[in-house]
Amino acid sequence: MTGGQKTADARAAAAQTVLTRAPGTALRRSVFWIAATAFVVVVSVVGLLVSGSGSAGPPLSAANPAPAGAKALVEVLKQQGVDVTVAGTLDEAADAVGDPDDTTLLLYDADRILDSGQLATAYALAGRTVLVAPGFDQLDALDPDIAQAGSVDGEVQAECSLPAAERAGSIGADGSGFRYIGDDASAVSCFDSGDDVSSVVQVETDAGLATVVGSTDVFDNEHIAQYGNAALTLGLLGETESLVWYLPGPADLGTDAPPTLGELSPDWVVPVAALLLLTVIAAGVWRGRRFGPLIVENLPVTVRANETMQGRARLYEKSSARLRALDALRIGSIERIAALCGLPRIAGVDDVVAAVSALTGAAPAEVYRVLVGAVPASDGDLVRLSDELLVLERAVAASARIS
Protein backbone atom coordinates (compact mmCIF):
# COMPACT_ATOMS: atom_id res chain seq x y z
CA MET A 1 0.00 0.00 0.00
CA THR A 2 1.44 3.34 -1.03
CA GLY A 3 1.59 6.47 1.14
CA GLY A 4 -1.12 8.18 -0.93
CA GLN A 5 -3.53 5.31 -0.41
CA LYS A 6 -2.92 5.32 3.36
CA THR A 7 -3.69 9.05 3.54
CA ALA A 8 -6.92 8.61 1.54
CA ASP A 9 -8.03 5.71 3.78
CA ALA A 10 -7.35 7.81 6.91
CA ARG A 11 -9.40 10.72 5.54
CA ALA A 12 -12.30 8.38 4.68
CA ALA A 13 -12.21 6.89 8.18
CA ALA A 14 -12.17 10.35 9.76
CA ALA A 15 -15.06 11.49 7.60
CA GLN A 16 -17.01 8.36 8.53
CA THR A 17 -16.33 9.02 12.25
CA VAL A 18 -17.62 12.59 12.00
CA LEU A 19 -20.71 11.78 9.97
CA THR A 20 -21.81 8.75 11.98
CA ARG A 21 -23.13 9.81 15.42
CA ALA A 22 -22.61 7.28 18.20
CA PRO A 23 -25.43 6.73 20.72
CA GLY A 24 -23.33 8.22 23.51
CA THR A 25 -22.64 11.39 21.52
CA ALA A 26 -26.29 11.83 20.61
CA LEU A 27 -27.29 11.35 24.26
CA ARG A 28 -24.75 13.92 25.47
CA ARG A 29 -25.99 16.49 22.95
CA SER A 30 -29.61 15.89 24.02
CA VAL A 31 -28.98 16.17 27.76
CA PHE A 32 -29.65 19.91 27.80
CA TRP A 33 -33.03 19.66 26.08
CA ILE A 34 -34.08 16.69 28.21
CA ALA A 35 -33.16 18.57 31.36
CA ALA A 36 -34.89 21.75 30.15
CA THR A 37 -38.08 19.85 29.36
CA ALA A 38 -38.04 18.13 32.77
CA PHE A 39 -37.47 21.48 34.47
CA VAL A 40 -40.44 23.06 32.66
CA VAL A 41 -42.68 20.15 33.63
CA VAL A 42 -41.61 20.32 37.30
CA VAL A 43 -42.08 24.10 37.45
CA SER A 44 -45.53 23.80 35.86
CA VAL A 45 -46.64 21.13 38.34
CA VAL A 46 -45.30 23.10 41.32
CA GLY A 47 -46.97 26.27 40.04
CA LEU A 48 -50.31 24.51 39.73
CA LEU A 49 -49.98 23.07 43.23
CA VAL A 50 -49.01 26.42 44.74
CA SER A 51 -51.76 28.33 42.97
CA GLY A 52 -54.28 25.70 43.95
CA SER A 53 -53.30 25.83 47.61
CA GLY A 54 -53.01 29.63 47.73
CA SER A 55 -56.56 30.40 46.70
CA ALA A 56 -59.37 27.92 47.07
CA GLY A 57 -61.98 30.30 45.74
CA PRO A 58 -62.88 33.94 45.15
CA PRO A 59 -62.26 36.61 47.82
CA LEU A 60 -64.69 36.53 50.76
CA SER A 61 -66.06 33.19 49.57
CA ALA A 62 -67.77 31.34 52.40
CA ALA A 63 -65.99 28.12 51.36
CA ASN A 64 -62.54 29.64 50.79
CA PRO A 65 -60.02 28.73 53.55
CA ALA A 66 -57.25 30.84 51.94
CA PRO A 67 -56.25 34.20 53.50
CA ALA A 68 -58.60 36.14 51.19
CA GLY A 69 -61.57 33.87 51.94
CA ALA A 70 -64.13 34.15 54.74
CA LYS A 71 -64.61 30.53 55.78
CA ALA A 72 -63.47 31.19 59.36
CA LEU A 73 -66.14 33.84 59.94
CA VAL A 74 -68.87 31.69 58.37
CA GLU A 75 -67.96 28.68 60.52
CA VAL A 76 -68.11 30.76 63.71
CA LEU A 77 -71.51 32.15 62.71
CA LYS A 78 -72.79 28.61 62.17
CA GLN A 79 -71.49 27.57 65.60
CA GLN A 80 -73.43 30.46 67.13
CA GLY A 81 -76.66 29.13 65.61
CA VAL A 82 -76.93 31.34 62.54
CA ASP A 83 -78.36 29.57 59.48
CA VAL A 84 -75.90 30.59 56.72
CA THR A 85 -76.98 30.10 53.09
CA VAL A 86 -74.47 30.72 50.30
CA ALA A 87 -75.91 32.22 47.11
CA GLY A 88 -74.13 32.66 43.79
CA THR A 89 -77.00 34.28 41.86
CA LEU A 90 -79.72 36.79 42.61
CA ASP A 91 -82.38 34.09 42.17
CA GLU A 92 -80.65 31.86 44.70
CA ALA A 93 -80.42 34.76 47.16
CA ALA A 94 -84.14 35.49 46.73
CA ASP A 95 -85.04 31.82 47.26
CA ALA A 96 -82.89 31.67 50.40
CA VAL A 97 -84.76 34.51 52.11
CA GLY A 98 -87.64 33.10 54.12
CA ASP A 99 -88.65 35.73 56.67
CA PRO A 100 -87.14 39.07 55.55
CA ASP A 101 -87.46 40.55 59.05
CA ASP A 102 -85.27 37.77 60.47
CA THR A 103 -82.72 37.62 57.62
CA THR A 104 -79.46 39.44 56.99
CA LEU A 105 -78.06 39.73 53.45
CA LEU A 106 -74.32 40.12 52.93
CA LEU A 107 -73.59 41.47 49.43
CA TYR A 108 -70.06 41.71 48.02
CA ASP A 109 -70.05 42.46 44.30
CA ALA A 110 -66.33 42.90 43.67
CA ASP A 111 -66.66 42.70 39.87
CA ARG A 112 -69.59 45.18 39.71
CA ILE A 113 -71.80 42.58 38.00
CA LEU A 114 -75.23 43.73 39.17
CA ASP A 115 -76.98 46.58 37.37
CA SER A 116 -79.19 49.18 39.05
CA GLY A 117 -82.34 47.06 38.75
CA GLN A 118 -80.67 43.98 40.20
CA LEU A 119 -79.17 46.05 43.03
CA ALA A 120 -82.60 47.44 43.94
CA THR A 121 -83.98 43.91 43.99
CA ALA A 122 -81.13 42.64 46.17
CA TYR A 123 -81.45 45.52 48.68
CA ALA A 124 -85.15 44.76 49.11
CA LEU A 125 -84.69 41.06 49.89
CA ALA A 126 -83.90 41.16 53.61
CA GLY A 127 -84.61 43.38 56.58
CA ARG A 128 -80.87 43.86 57.17
CA THR A 129 -78.28 44.36 54.44
CA VAL A 130 -74.49 44.48 54.85
CA LEU A 131 -72.84 45.95 51.75
CA VAL A 132 -69.09 45.28 51.55
CA ALA A 133 -66.62 47.54 49.68
CA PRO A 134 -69.23 49.02 47.32
CA GLY A 135 -68.61 51.16 44.24
CA PHE A 136 -70.34 54.40 43.26
CA ASP A 137 -73.25 52.70 41.47
CA GLN A 138 -73.91 50.37 44.40
CA LEU A 139 -73.91 53.26 46.87
CA ASP A 140 -76.13 55.41 44.66
CA ALA A 141 -78.68 52.60 44.36
CA LEU A 142 -78.67 52.06 48.14
CA ASP A 143 -78.68 55.69 49.36
CA PRO A 144 -77.45 58.69 47.32
CA ASP A 145 -76.58 60.48 50.56
CA ILE A 146 -73.67 58.08 51.21
CA ALA A 147 -70.67 59.46 49.32
CA GLN A 148 -67.29 57.89 48.69
CA ALA A 149 -64.59 59.86 50.46
CA GLY A 150 -61.15 58.43 49.78
CA SER A 151 -59.58 55.63 51.77
CA VAL A 152 -59.15 54.52 55.38
CA ASP A 153 -55.87 52.98 56.52
CA GLY A 154 -54.72 51.25 59.69
CA GLU A 155 -56.48 50.98 63.04
CA VAL A 156 -59.49 53.23 63.64
CA GLN A 157 -61.62 53.64 66.75
CA ALA A 158 -65.40 53.12 66.86
CA GLU A 159 -66.54 56.42 68.47
CA CYS A 160 -70.23 55.83 67.64
CA SER A 161 -73.40 54.39 69.14
CA LEU A 162 -73.61 51.30 66.93
CA PRO A 163 -73.68 48.28 69.32
CA ALA A 164 -71.49 46.06 67.13
CA ALA A 165 -68.95 48.86 66.77
CA GLU A 166 -68.93 49.58 70.50
CA ARG A 167 -68.18 45.91 71.21
CA ALA A 168 -65.39 45.93 68.64
CA GLY A 169 -63.73 49.07 70.01
CA SER A 170 -61.37 49.36 67.03
CA ILE A 171 -60.81 47.63 63.70
CA GLY A 172 -58.12 47.39 61.05
CA ALA A 173 -59.92 49.06 58.17
CA ASP A 174 -57.67 49.27 55.14
CA GLY A 175 -60.17 50.09 52.42
CA SER A 176 -62.69 52.67 51.24
CA GLY A 177 -64.00 55.55 53.30
CA PHE A 178 -67.47 57.12 53.18
CA ARG A 179 -69.19 60.29 54.28
CA TYR A 180 -72.90 60.68 55.02
CA ILE A 181 -74.10 63.99 53.52
CA GLY A 182 -77.83 63.60 54.17
CA ASP A 183 -80.01 64.97 56.96
CA ASP A 184 -81.34 61.70 58.42
CA ALA A 185 -80.70 61.86 62.17
CA SER A 186 -80.84 58.06 62.48
CA ALA A 187 -77.80 57.56 60.21
CA VAL A 188 -74.69 56.38 62.09
CA SER A 189 -71.06 56.78 60.96
CA CYS A 190 -68.39 54.71 62.72
CA PHE A 191 -64.62 54.27 62.70
CA ASP A 192 -63.81 57.82 61.62
CA SER A 193 -60.28 58.31 60.27
CA GLY A 194 -60.54 62.10 60.19
CA ASP A 195 -62.38 64.78 58.19
CA ASP A 196 -65.64 62.86 58.73
CA VAL A 197 -64.37 59.93 56.62
CA SER A 198 -65.79 56.71 58.08
CA SER A 199 -65.23 53.05 57.32
CA VAL A 200 -68.74 51.99 58.41
CA VAL A 201 -72.03 53.82 57.76
CA GLN A 202 -75.46 52.53 58.79
CA VAL A 203 -78.71 54.03 57.45
CA GLU A 204 -82.41 53.23 57.40
CA THR A 205 -83.77 52.50 53.92
CA ASP A 206 -87.23 51.68 52.63
CA ALA A 207 -86.37 47.97 52.80
CA GLY A 208 -84.80 48.04 56.25
CA LEU A 209 -81.46 48.60 57.96
CA ALA A 210 -78.41 48.85 55.65
CA THR A 211 -74.78 48.87 56.77
CA VAL A 212 -71.95 49.84 54.43
CA VAL A 213 -68.48 48.49 55.28
CA GLY A 214 -65.58 49.82 53.22
CA SER A 215 -62.95 47.21 54.13
CA THR A 216 -62.87 43.53 53.21
CA ASP A 217 -60.13 42.96 55.80
CA VAL A 218 -62.61 42.79 58.66
CA PHE A 219 -64.24 39.73 57.04
CA ASP A 220 -61.36 37.70 55.55
CA ASN A 221 -59.47 34.84 57.20
CA GLU A 222 -56.17 36.70 57.32
CA HIS A 223 -57.39 39.69 59.38
CA ILE A 224 -60.50 38.41 61.19
CA ALA A 225 -58.59 37.85 64.46
CA GLN A 226 -56.96 41.29 64.47
CA TYR A 227 -58.21 44.25 66.54
CA GLY A 228 -62.00 44.04 66.97
CA ASN A 229 -62.72 42.77 63.46
CA ALA A 230 -64.38 39.59 64.67
CA ALA A 231 -66.61 41.42 67.16
CA LEU A 232 -67.80 43.87 64.49
CA THR A 233 -68.58 41.27 61.83
CA LEU A 234 -70.24 38.84 64.23
CA GLY A 235 -72.36 41.70 65.55
CA LEU A 236 -73.43 42.85 62.10
CA LEU A 237 -74.10 39.38 60.66
CA GLY A 238 -75.32 37.50 63.73
CA GLU A 239 -78.28 39.68 64.75
CA THR A 240 -80.81 37.50 62.86
CA GLU A 241 -81.37 33.75 62.68
CA SER A 242 -80.69 33.57 58.92
CA LEU A 243 -77.81 34.95 56.90
CA VAL A 244 -77.65 34.92 53.08
CA TRP A 245 -74.02 35.16 51.92
CA TYR A 246 -74.37 36.52 48.38
CA LEU A 247 -71.42 36.96 46.01
CA PRO A 248 -72.75 37.72 42.49
CA GLY A 249 -71.30 35.61 39.67
CA PRO A 250 -71.33 35.40 35.87
CA ALA A 251 -74.82 33.87 35.97
CA ASP A 252 -76.16 37.28 37.04
CA LEU A 253 -75.04 38.85 33.78
CA GLY A 254 -77.64 39.59 31.12
CA THR A 255 -78.70 36.68 28.93
CA ASP A 256 -78.60 38.85 25.80
CA ALA A 257 -74.79 38.96 25.80
CA PRO A 258 -73.15 37.86 22.52
CA PRO A 259 -71.76 34.30 22.43
CA THR A 260 -68.13 33.86 23.36
CA LEU A 261 -65.42 32.58 21.03
CA GLY A 262 -65.44 29.26 22.86
CA GLU A 263 -69.18 28.84 22.28
CA LEU A 264 -68.79 29.60 18.57
CA SER A 265 -65.84 27.23 18.06
CA PRO A 266 -66.44 23.59 17.01
CA ASP A 267 -65.73 20.82 19.52
CA TRP A 268 -62.63 19.63 17.65
CA VAL A 269 -60.76 22.96 17.95
CA VAL A 270 -59.42 22.42 21.48
CA PRO A 271 -58.06 18.87 20.89
CA VAL A 272 -56.43 19.92 17.62
CA ALA A 273 -54.88 22.99 19.24
CA ALA A 274 -53.51 20.87 22.08
CA LEU A 275 -52.08 18.37 19.59
CA LEU A 276 -50.42 21.16 17.60
CA LEU A 277 -48.92 22.60 20.79
CA LEU A 278 -47.47 19.24 21.78
CA THR A 279 -46.12 18.80 18.23
CA VAL A 280 -44.37 22.17 18.37
CA ILE A 281 -42.82 21.34 21.75
CA ALA A 282 -41.66 17.94 20.49
CA ALA A 283 -40.18 19.53 17.36
CA GLY A 284 -38.36 22.09 19.48
CA VAL A 285 -36.87 19.40 21.68
CA TRP A 286 -35.91 17.32 18.64
CA ARG A 287 -34.47 19.96 16.35
CA GLY A 288 -33.72 22.78 18.77
CA ARG A 289 -30.26 24.24 19.17
CA ARG A 290 -28.82 26.05 22.12
CA PHE A 291 -27.83 29.59 21.13
CA GLY A 292 -25.81 30.41 24.23
CA PRO A 293 -26.20 31.23 27.93
CA LEU A 294 -29.40 32.84 29.16
CA ILE A 295 -29.34 36.62 29.62
CA VAL A 296 -31.12 38.17 32.59
CA GLU A 297 -33.17 41.19 31.53
CA ASN A 298 -35.01 43.54 33.84
CA LEU A 299 -38.60 43.75 32.63
CA PRO A 300 -40.96 46.64 33.43
CA VAL A 301 -43.24 46.07 36.40
CA THR A 302 -46.99 46.30 35.88
CA VAL A 303 -48.60 48.37 38.66
CA ARG A 304 -52.31 48.00 39.34
CA ALA A 305 -54.47 51.08 38.83
CA ASN A 306 -55.68 51.28 42.44
CA GLU A 307 -52.07 51.18 43.73
CA THR A 308 -51.14 54.02 41.38
CA MET A 309 -54.15 56.02 42.56
CA GLN A 310 -53.38 55.50 46.24
CA GLY A 311 -49.68 56.27 45.73
CA ARG A 312 -50.48 59.50 43.90
CA ALA A 313 -52.97 60.47 46.60
CA ARG A 314 -50.36 59.95 49.33
CA LEU A 315 -47.85 62.07 47.38
CA TYR A 316 -50.43 64.85 47.09
CA GLU A 317 -51.12 64.59 50.81
CA LYS A 318 -47.44 64.57 51.76
CA SER A 319 -46.68 67.64 49.63
CA SER A 320 -49.96 69.41 50.62
CA ALA A 321 -50.86 69.65 46.91
CA ARG A 322 -54.53 70.24 47.65
CA LEU A 323 -55.26 72.23 44.50
CA ARG A 324 -53.67 69.56 42.29
CA ALA A 325 -55.73 66.85 43.98
CA LEU A 326 -58.89 68.94 43.61
CA ASP A 327 -58.10 69.62 39.95
CA ALA A 328 -57.91 65.88 39.32
CA LEU A 329 -61.42 65.53 40.77
CA ARG A 330 -62.65 68.56 38.82
CA ILE A 331 -61.43 67.24 35.48
CA GLY A 332 -63.43 64.04 35.91
CA SER A 333 -66.52 65.95 37.12
CA ILE A 334 -66.39 68.44 34.22
CA GLU A 335 -66.13 65.60 31.68
CA ARG A 336 -69.10 63.75 33.17
CA ILE A 337 -71.18 66.92 33.54
CA ALA A 338 -70.47 67.92 29.93
CA ALA A 339 -71.68 64.51 28.78
CA LEU A 340 -74.85 64.86 30.87
CA CYS A 341 -75.50 68.28 29.33
CA GLY A 342 -75.03 66.92 25.81
CA LEU A 343 -71.92 69.01 25.13
CA PRO A 344 -69.10 67.81 22.83
CA ARG A 345 -65.74 66.71 24.26
CA ILE A 346 -64.08 69.91 22.96
CA ALA A 347 -66.46 72.16 24.92
CA GLY A 348 -64.75 74.73 27.13
CA VAL A 349 -65.30 75.36 30.82
CA ASP A 350 -67.39 78.46 30.10
CA ASP A 351 -69.72 76.39 27.91
CA VAL A 352 -70.08 73.81 30.67
CA VAL A 353 -70.79 76.52 33.28
CA ALA A 354 -73.45 78.10 31.06
CA ALA A 355 -75.09 74.74 30.33
CA VAL A 356 -75.15 73.74 34.02
CA SER A 357 -76.60 77.11 35.01
CA ALA A 358 -79.33 76.84 32.39
CA LEU A 359 -80.13 73.24 33.32
CA THR A 360 -80.17 73.54 37.13
CA GLY A 361 -80.96 77.23 37.63
CA ALA A 362 -77.83 77.76 39.72
CA ALA A 363 -75.95 81.05 39.48
CA PRO A 364 -73.13 80.93 36.90
CA ALA A 365 -70.71 82.45 39.41
CA GLU A 366 -71.44 79.70 41.94
CA VAL A 367 -71.06 76.97 39.30
CA TYR A 368 -67.76 78.51 38.16
CA ARG A 369 -66.55 78.68 41.77
CA VAL A 370 -67.21 74.98 42.35
CA LEU A 371 -65.81 73.78 39.00
CA VAL A 372 -62.81 76.09 38.65
CA GLY A 373 -62.55 79.12 40.90
CA ALA A 374 -62.31 77.97 44.53
CA VAL A 375 -58.85 77.21 45.94
CA PRO A 376 -58.64 74.93 49.01
CA ALA A 377 -56.60 76.39 51.86
CA SER A 378 -56.85 73.34 54.13
CA ASP A 379 -57.75 69.66 54.09
CA GLY A 380 -61.22 70.58 55.31
CA ASP A 381 -61.70 72.93 52.35
CA LEU A 382 -60.56 70.15 50.00
CA VAL A 383 -63.10 67.72 51.45
CA ARG A 384 -65.87 70.35 51.36
CA LEU A 385 -65.17 71.24 47.72
CA SER A 386 -65.09 67.57 46.72
CA ASP A 387 -68.55 67.18 48.32
CA GLU A 388 -69.80 70.24 46.44
CA LEU A 389 -68.57 68.71 43.19
CA LEU A 390 -70.49 65.52 43.97
CA VAL A 391 -73.66 67.44 44.88
CA LEU A 392 -73.43 69.55 41.69
CA GLU A 393 -72.91 66.47 39.52
CA ARG A 394 -75.91 64.74 41.07
CA ALA A 395 -78.04 67.87 40.59
CA VAL A 396 -77.10 67.98 36.90
CA ALA A 397 -77.88 64.28 36.52
CA ALA A 398 -81.29 64.75 38.18
CA SER A 399 -82.13 67.77 36.02
CA ALA A 400 -81.01 65.96 32.88
CA ARG A 401 -83.31 63.03 33.66
CA ILE A 402 -86.26 65.37 34.25
CA SER A 403 -85.66 67.32 31.05
| Structural domain that includes position 233 | 71-252
Shared domain for 114 and 242, answered yes or no, is yes
Buried b (16+ CB within 10 A) or exposed e, 113-148: bbeeebbeebbbbbbbbbbbbbeeebbbbbbebbbb
190 occurs within a structural domain? yes
Classify burial at 256, counting beta carbons within 10 Å of its beta carbon; exposed 0-12, middle 13-18, buried 19 or more. Answer: exposed
Out of 204, 232, 252, a domain closes at 252
**Confidence at residue 18, expressed as pLDDT on a 0 to 100 scale:** 41
Classify burial at 99, counting beta carbons within 10 Å of its beta carbon; exposed 0-12, middle 13-18, buried 19 or more. Answer: exposed
Shared domain for 153 and 94, answered yes or no, is yes
Shared domain for 206 and 173, answered yes or no, is yes
Cα separation of 54 and 64, whole Å? 10
Shared domain for 45 and 110, answered yes or no, is no
Structural domain total, the chain = 3
Shared domain for 317 and 221, answered yes or no, is no
257 occurs within a structural domain? no
172 occurs within a structural domain? yes
Shared domain for 166 and 208, answered yes or no, is yes
Q: Digits of tens for pLDDT over the chain (403 positions)?
A: 554 454 445 444 444 444 444 445 555 556 666 766 766 666 566 555 555 444 457 899 999 999 999 999 999 999 999 999 999 999 999 999 999 999 999 999 999 999 999 999 999 999 999 999 999 999 999 999 999 988 898 899 998 989 999 999 999 988 999 999 999 889 999 999 888 899 999 999 988 999 999 999 999 999 999 999 999 999 999 999 999 999 998 888 865 556 667 777 788 888 888 999 998 888 887 777 666 677 776 757 666 777 777 777 777 777 777 788 888 888 888 888 888 888 887 788 888 888 888 888 888 888 888 888 888 888 888 888 888 888 888 888 888 787 6
Please give the single-letter amino acid code of residue 256.
D
